[in-house]
A and B are shown apart, each in its own frame.
Chain A
Amino acid sequence: MEYIVKAEQLVYEYSPPTSDDEKAESQAPILALNGIDINIKKGEFLAILGHNGSGKSTFAKHINCLLQPTSGTMWVNGISTANEDMVWEIRQSVGMVFQNPDNQIIATIVEEDVAFGPENLGVPPAEIRKRVDEALATVGMTEFAGNPPHHLSGGQKQRVAIAGILAMRPDIIVLDEATAMLDPNGRKEVMKVAKQLNTDEGITIVFITHYMDEAAQADRIIVVSDGKIAMEGLPSEVFSRITELKKIGLDVPQAAEIAYKLRAKGVNLPKSIVTGEHLVEELVKCRLS
Chain B
Amino acid sequence: MSIELKDVCHTYSKGSTFAKNALNNINLTIESGDFVGLIGHTGSGKSTLVQHLNALLKPHSGHIFIDGEDINADKSRLKAIRSKVGLVFQYPEHQLFDMTVYKDVSFGPKNAGLSGEEIKERVESALTMVGIMPDMYEKSPFELSGGQKRRVAIAGVLAMRPEVLVLDEPAAGLDPRGRDEILNQVKKMHEGLQITVILVSHSMEDIARLVNRILVINKGEIVLSGTPTEIFAQIEQLEAIGLSTTQSAYIARDLRNKGFNLPENIFTVDVVVDAVLSELQAR
Are both chains from one complex? yes
Output the least CB separation between B103 and chain A (Å).
14
Q: A270: which B residues are within 8 A, CB to CB?
A: none
Output the least CB separation between A101 and chain B (Å).
12
- Looking at chain B's contact residues, the main secondary structure is helix
B273 touches A262 (CB 8 A): yes
A177 contacts chain B at the CB level, 8 A cutoff: yes
A19 to B273, CA, bound (A): 51
Output the least CB separation between A239 and chain B (Å).
13
Contacts A279-B251, A280-B254; A249 near B175 (Cβ below 8 A): yes
B41 touches A183 (CB 8 A): yes
Contacts A52-B147, A254-B251, A258-B251; A287 near B283 (Cβ below 8 A): yes
B175 touches A210 (CB 8 A): yes
Name B163-181 residues within 8 Å CB distance of A.
Answer: 172-178
Q: A265: which B residues are within 8 A, CB to CB?
A: 273, 277
> Of all chain A residues, which has the CB nearest B146?
A52
B115 contacts chain A at the CB level, 8 A cutoff: no
A258 touches B269 (CB 8 A): yes
Q: A250: which B residues are within 8 A, CB to CB?
A: 175-177
B248 touches A254 (CB 8 A): yes
Output the least CB separation between B237 and chain A (Å).
16
B42 contacts chain A at the CB level, 8 A cutoff: yes
Q: A253: which B residues are within 8 A, CB to CB?
A: 247
> Of all chain A residues, which has the CB nearest B243?
A184
Q: How many residues of A contact B (CB 8 A)?
A: 39
**Contact mask B99-135 → A, CB, 8 Å, 1/0?**
0000000000000000000000000000000000000
Q: B174: which A residues are within 8 A, CB to CB?
A: 52, 210
Output the least CB separation between B56 and chain A (Å).
22
B264 contacts chain A at the CB level, 8 A cutoff: no
Q: A257: which B residues are within 8 A, CB to CB?
A: 269
**Contact mask A255-289 → B, CB, 8 Å, 1/0?**
10110011001010000000011011001101100
Partner of A254, one of B143, B269, B276: B269
Output the least CB separation between A198 and chain B (Å).
23
Chosen A-B contacts, 18 in total, with CB atoms closer than 8 Å, are A19-B140, A51-B177, A184-B243, A185-B42, A250-B175, A254-B248, A254-B269, A258-B248, A258-B251, A261-B270, A261-B273, A267-B276, A279-B251, A280-B254, A280-B255, A286-B280, A287-B260, A287-B283
Q: Which 6 A-B pairs have the closest CB atoms?
A: A249-B177, A251-B176, A254-B247, A51-B175, A183-B42, A280-B254
Residues of B that sit less than 8 Å from A by CB: 41-43, 140, 143, 145-147, 172-178, 202, 205, 242-244, 246-248, 250-251, 254-255, 258, 260, 269-270, 272-273, 276-277, 279-280, 283
